A and B are shown apart, each in its own frame.
Chain A
Amino acid sequence: MRVTDAAFNNTLINQLNGLTSQQYNLQNQVTTGMRIQSASDDPAAMEDTLNDQANVAAQTQFSSNITTLQDRAGSIYNVLESLQSVTSQAGEITTSAGSGTQTTADLQTSASQVNSLLNQVVSLANTKDPTTGQYLFGGTASGQAPYTVTKDASGDITGVTYQGNSSVNQTEISAGVNVTVDIPGSNTSGTGVRGLFTDSQSGADLMNHLIALRNDLSSGNTATVTSTDSNNIQDDENNVTYQVANNGVVQTHLDTAATLASNNSTSLNTMISNSSSANMVQTMVQLTSAQNAYQAALESGVKVMQLSILNYIS
């Protein structure tokens, strides 16, 4: 074929443009570490990457949810521990009082011990979540103190009123999996999450049982302590034990979910990386070969262009 100067020049220019654009793309991939940056680079990979990124964001949110819940479950556990100690002390008092060996003065001392335990329980019942400042045991009506008390002239608690509700929040900790860490102070409905202090399923009613026990002790009514109060306190203790076990289960669940979220994030990031990141070795090799081709095109092109018949006409 007859090749003219203009055809040669145009072809060379097109070749150089092509190689320059190839180098530009490869260099860009090397610098950013990314094989694709826009949808047109690889539409399917872009679609996957965006979906995976949304999924990573969701996993990150799950992790953050889990951290918040772990903090709250920890706060609740601290209260449960104290309550275990209270119920066990109250149980010991009922046992001692029922032994028939205690004097009236001993019983009075026990009554005042129970009174102090009662105050402690009311104070525990109105514990706030240290991070959010919300009351822990008011159910979902957590904006106000769950328990108010009525006192007699001498300042002793004669009754408690629960101002919260028996509802608890569900929180999503992994796709479609909800957990509840909260415990309502009172649940007399017979269904749902058991109440911590008052619960119709377990027969627990800690504050009122302590009030009755105190009153029976101070009036020297040891028969009732043995026949009724002892069993009641046992119910309360069992309920607290149940709640401790439950809290442990939830915390384990949260730990597992945290690991899952972190693993999911890692594998999703690997998938994102696979579909959108540049293979460095391959890209560098491609870049080098594009550079070589560019250099060769320049050198050969210039050599050919420099020569013509004019060089040999004197």
Chain B
Amino acid sequence: MIGLFGTLNLAASALQAQMTGVEVSGQNLANVNTTGYSRQSVNITTSSDIDTADGQEGTGVQATIQQAVSSLLNSQIQNQNSVSGYWAGQQSALQGAQDGLNEYLNSSSSSSSSSSSGTSENSTGLATQLSGLFDAFQGVATSPTSTSARQTLVSQGQSLATMFNQVSAQLSSLNTSLNTTVSQGVTSANQLLTNIAGLNKQISTAQFSGGSTDDLNDEREQDLENLGTLANFTTSTDANGSVNVSIGGQSLITGDQVDDTLQSYSGTNGNQYVETVTGGVPLTLTGGSIQGTIDARDGTLATLQSGMDNLAGTLISQVNSIYSSGYSTTGSTGANFFNGTTAGSISVNSALTNNPSLVQASGSATASGDNSVALQLANLASTNETALGGQTFTASYTQTVGAMGDDLQTANNQVTSQASVSQMLATQRSSVSGVSVDEEMTNLMSFQKAYEASSELVQTVEAMMETTIQMKTG
């Protein structure tokens, strides 16, 4: 028999345990919308029995707080984040490339029902300008001495050159901003690494002193998941609760120490790459938005830029080699139609701007009405160029556009499907670690009822004690 005082202690332990339950429900309810919060639960167990003359008797209840965490799901989410991050990096870079190319279809006619007649779509980019140039050569070939045909040719040439310049400028500005994205990604990753090392320290200290590490764990998990979005990494967990982090095989965090950090460096092509600061080891990652950005920049964007330069360069050399042999209506010869060598530098010979009669369309110094050079230039539209992989100018360009579109479409599809995977993992984790209001309210009521009941016990024992005392005095 544990007696009145024993029973009073028992009631006190019950009140404490139920109070802990109420507190935990309160904490869970308070964090119902907190990102990364892992639900806590109260594990209520009976206190150890004691042997009495009447046999074993209970001494009440004790409560411990547990965090509902699935480390498997956490690590899956970290990995999934680097896959999602990789494709998001690609998507954002390639979307920029598509914008830079500015090749969109516009519907110019409002009659959307007519499907068989009338042009209803126009493109906004180089394709129109390119075919416009060859058509303008045709125009001059048809009316070789017409000033207006020559003016059309010169202004069409200028539009094409300007469009090449714009695309080239857009793509190189995109390249610059992607390099900035890489550097910024590295800065963010370093910040997260520092945070993680700091949290490792707090967690190991708290664990040593027996304190709660639940909220610190949640915070560190958030940082690790954010780091996963930037770069893929591997982890190992120490006995003291610290998480060690390696990126690309390089150990960056051991316990509470930051072994090494990341920095961006300029490669031989002037683009930004990632290496470790102390070790100076260049890192080739397989996931995360930093690598996604690098891959899109060095892959699709670089191909696009060199494709544009090759297209412009071939156009300049092919047009000029025919054009320079021609004669203008004033008998002049040997000049070039285009100046420059790349998409960025292409321009129309400025002498033509002021004087279209200088266009060298004739094949003979004495026959100003001859069109043979203009006709040869117009025929370039259907000439398969060796420098363009045996394709015509237009076909080569549209293939470049198509290849870029393929890459962006792949990135878009990947982003969508990876989002589904992330969503599924998030739902699974939420099923383990998330807070349910219904559940917490039910728990709250049951703790409250138990608390009320235990307080009744205290009152009963108190009344019994009173009775006991009055037995003597009465």
Contact = CB atoms under 8 A, between A and B. Distances in A.
Contacts of B371: 140, 169-171
A207 to B, nearest CB: 22
Contacts of B33: 6
Interface residues of A, number: 72
A107 interface: no
Contacts of B375: 169-172, 178
A269 B116 CA distance: 6
Contacts of A142: 145, 367-369
Given A1-B431, A143-B368, A310 B423 contact: no
Given A5-B436, A65-B138, A276 B121 contact: yes
Contacts of B98: 38-40
Interface in B131-155: 131-132, 134-135, 138-139, 141-146
Interface residues of B, number: 83
A5 B431 contact: no
B37 to A, nearest CB: 9
Interface string A146-181: 000000000000000000010101111001101000
Contacts of B390: none
B197 to A, nearest CB: 29
A142 B362 CA distance: 12
A272 B121 contact: yes
B434 interface: yes
B426 interface: yes
Interface in A37-82: 37-44, 46-47, 49-51, 53-54, 56-58, 60-62, 64-65, 68-69
A246 interface: no
A38 B103 contact: yes
Interface in A262-285: 265-266, 269-270, 272-274, 276-278, 280
Contacts, number: 240
Given A36-B105, A310-B441, A54 B127 contact: yes
B130 A54 contact: yes
Given A269-B117, A280-B113, A51 B434 contact: no
B44 interface: no
B130 A10 contact: no
B351 interface: no
B382 A175 contact: yes
Contacts of B121: 34, 49, 53, 272-273, 276-277
Q: 3 smallest A-B Cβ distances: which pairs? A: A39-B405, A33-B112, A4-B434
6 contacts: A7-B430, A50-B127, A58-B134, A132-B146, A143-B368, A269-B119
Interface of A: 1-7, 10-11, 14, 32-34, 36-44, 46-47, 49-51, 53-54, 56-58, 60-62, 64-65, 68-69, 131-132, 134, 138-143, 165, 167, 169-172, 175-176, 178, 265-266, 269-270, 272-274, 276-278, 280, 308-310, 313
